[in-house]
Amino acid sequence: MFLSQLPAVFALGVVSQVVQIVLLRELLMVFHGNELSLGIILAAWMLWVGIGSHLGSKIARRSIKPVTIVSIISAASVIFFVFTVFSIRMLRFFFTIETGAYFSVSDMTLSCLIVIAPVGLLLGIQFVMLAKVWRENDKAHDTSAAEKTYIGEASGNIIGGILFSFFLVHLFNSFHAVVFSGFLMVAATLLLVLKCRHEGLSMAASIKPALFMVMIGSVVFFLFLGPLDKWTYTLQWKFFSPEYLLVETRQSKYGTISVVQREDQYSFFQSGNLIFSTAGPVVESPALEEQEAVIFAHFAMVQHPAPEHVLLIGGGLRGTIREIAKHPVKHIDYVELDPVLTDMARPYIPRSTIRAIDSPLVNLIHTDGRLFIKKTDQTYDMIIADIPDPSTAVINRYYTEEFFREVKSRLNPGGVFVTGAMTTPDMRGEAAANRNTAIYHTLKRVFPNVLPAGQRFIFFFASHQQGQVSADISILRQRYIKRQINTDGFSHRHFDLLLEESQLRRINWIIRNHGRNPDAHLGNPESGPLFPPSIEEQEIMETKLPPVNERFFINSDFKPIGYYYTLRFWDVLAGGNHRDTFKWILRVQPWWIAPVFAFCIVFPLVIKCVPTLKKNRADRHFAILLAVFSTGLSTMALQVAIIFSFQSLYGFVYEMIGLITALFMGGLAIGTFVSRNLVREKSSITILAGIQFLIALFAMVIAFGLPGAAKLEFPFIVVALFSAMTFLAGMFNGADFPISVACCQSLSKDPEKATGTVYGVELFGACAGALVASVVIAPVLGITAVCILAAIANFTAFLVLVISGAWQ
């Protein structure tokens, strides 16, 4: 009978993984690629699968026909998978959100809880029912079948991650992927029905035709999913921005790219984020849509007296590359991440921009900008980062101290680095002030000479030589005129506007003085004197100011506070009212965790003092479930830490999420297999306590090892280390499951109850870990703090197991 249930269990793992990744990608697009949503999505998934497993344990104890229930769930899954993808794309219809505005944290949470519920419940129930089928076929009375099911599902997860990353993401749209998954699940269930006889021959006779019909219906429906995909994307854009017409959509390994049109204007979005806009291919001179790119290019280029070798990261498609090429440069390396975006843009951008990109002067490189700078031996007179505001952790990695140091190492003597971000007039409001001040102070940690300038868009000019960048209008005007540049979008008179003296002094006063007291991040910056000193005087005065509050005003790969401020900034611009939520998260202190873990330690001591509870071994019940919860919390928190760290370095988690998950599940499967086959006394709380201690130790190793791994020069070694950490995290999680289930059954005497309880509590812990780690701890306290949280959780579980009598 082993061959009958194994395909169904394996298919459950494959399907769970593929559907989870599809829903994750779809929701990330709706939430504009915001990494805060990553934890919320994973938390909602774990929560509902956990509830489903708990509900499944109740059903399993009362049902004598588990194969029938498995068949019903498999058949229903096809419909629910499609409905869930459709619901995600229609989410904005059900919320009162201004055009172009972001979902709030509460809206994201409610959305995920609603749309993921049906799928999560079904998959959670399915796991417990398949475990019961396996136990009945083995005629066993222990939890060995649950362990086998756990290994089989994890093995399917591995294949699902690989299958999606290498095949499905390139061949199918989201609807195709989930219907294919449903078909696979039904086919495996049909095999189970044909082979499993203990529920009677009538069961196979009645269910087999229904499953055949579902399979045939899936194949027919599959043929119409292309038009459905286009139609739902069109509806999605109507809800997001009704004035735009969706022209084209393509799936890239870096995200979903959409081209939308409004009259003669074309705009490009990736994962719901605006990349750039253009006036179309027939416009030769810079139009209004490209005015910002024109100003950015020329204002940047005159900061160097004779730039010959230039590196441009992003922005070329919006016209920046065309304007840079008008200066007397010898070579331009233009790095653009996504070749799909470049290919899609060609029919819609001006021909002058295409000619500039295709000219011998320009070397177009499709790769990640940070990876290019890390690997290249080339040095440059100017490095220009023309990228969007750091509204996600992926983009924020171009505004961190680590990136700025990498840039500095690639600049020639006297070289200049240029970046920028949106702002408000006079830096009004705490959101704009905090974000742009954080960029300035982070740059200042690396470059001794940093000049902020601008009004609605603030430029940051940085150099490692004092006096290299300039706010002197006459110098910049002379350089521009000498180069004899002819463009309709810029002239030497622009410098009078860009460097208007009073505006320049006010912006510099705010940026240089803000962020230097403990509560600066919670309030508006000081307005400063009516007539601020000159830039030269401010630079001297700055050396005598108090030190910067590094926790909230130094943006780094391992503490990405910059993107958190940007979310608040765009919330303000879009008229959002989520100020209190963001402020509460910014107030989080590390010591807040102490009362929670103190309660966990004191509670079993109290139980031991109550005779009735002590007799019922309530302290051991609590200790076992706390260990299960802590394992789920810590392993998911470590996953978030590893994903965020990997993303900060390489930026392509969207592409790699399937492989990263496959590595984790591979470790989980091996850990479960080793624990199941090598541990003789599985119900030993002593062994369970030992595993908790090892997980805590492992988490501390990762906490202090991640920053060191990030500094390694060889990308292959870094990838190998991150893969090993992911694999080991999964292995510890897997090793914990058989011991926990056996310990739980030794108290409850019911294998289905033990299986459902442990599986559900572990997922509840993972839910909490994903939510707390990604939404609260990682952006504010840092990624290292996430790992320390994981270590504290498991060490607390270790202590509680000891208190409950692990060594009695």
Catalytic sites, residue numbers: 386
What is the rounded CA–CA span in Å between residue 699 and residue 697? 5
What is the rounded CA–CA span in Å between residue 94 and residue 98? 12
**Angle, helix 66-89 to helix 174-195, in steps of 10 degrees:** 180
What is the rounded CA–CA span in Å between residue 63 and residue 58? 9
DSSP state of 247: E
- Buried residues in 65-102 as b, exposed as e (16+ CB within 10 A): ebbbbbbbbbbebbbbbbebbbbbbebbeeeebeeebb
Tell the burial category of 222 from Cβ atoms under 10 Å away from its Cβ (0-12, 13-18, 19+): middle
Spell out where 131-287 has E strands: 245-252, 255-262, 265-270, 273-278
Helix (H) or strand (E) segment spanning residue 705? helix 685-710
CA-based nearest residue to 665, from 14, 38, 54, 165: 14
| CA 688 to the chain's CA centroid | 32
Torsion angle, CA of 212/88/658/130, rounded to 10 degrees? Answer: -40
Backbone angles phi, psi at 99, to 5 degrees: -55, 125
Tokens of 690: 């030992």
CA-based nearest residue to 108, from 173, 52, 43: 43
Tokens of 364: 């177009």
| Measured CA distances, 643 to 225, 600, 609, 638, 664 (Å) | 32, 29, 44, 8, 11
CA-based nearest residue to 369, from 326, 421, 313: 313
What is the rounded CA–CA span in Å between residue 98 and residue 90? 15
Helix (H) or strand (E) segment spanning residue 749? none
Paired residues of 249 in beta bridges: 258
CA-based nearest residue to 636, from 528, 444, 775, 513: 775
The contacts found for 650-653 with CB under 8 angstroms, 24 or more apart, are 650/368, 650/370, 650/371, 650/715, 650/719, 651/337, 651/368, 651/370, 651/371, 651/394, 651/397, 652/253, 652/254, 652/368, 653/394
HEC secondary structure over 328-396: CCCEEEEECCCHHHHHHHCCCCCHHHHHHHHCCCEEEECCCHHHHHHHCCCCEEEEEECCCCCCCHHHH
What is the rounded CA–CA span in Å between residue 392 and residue 396? 6
Tell the burial category of 465 from Cβ atoms under 10 Å away from its Cβ (0-12, 13-18, 19+): middle
Handedness of CA 646, 648, 652, 657 (dihedral sign): positive
> Taking the CA of residue 491 as centre, how many other CA atoms within 13 Å lie in the half-sphere pointing to its CB?
2
DSSP state of 498: H
The amino acid at 57: S
DSSP state of 775: I
Whether residue 361 contacts residue 517, with contact meaning beta carbons closer than 8 Å, is answered with no
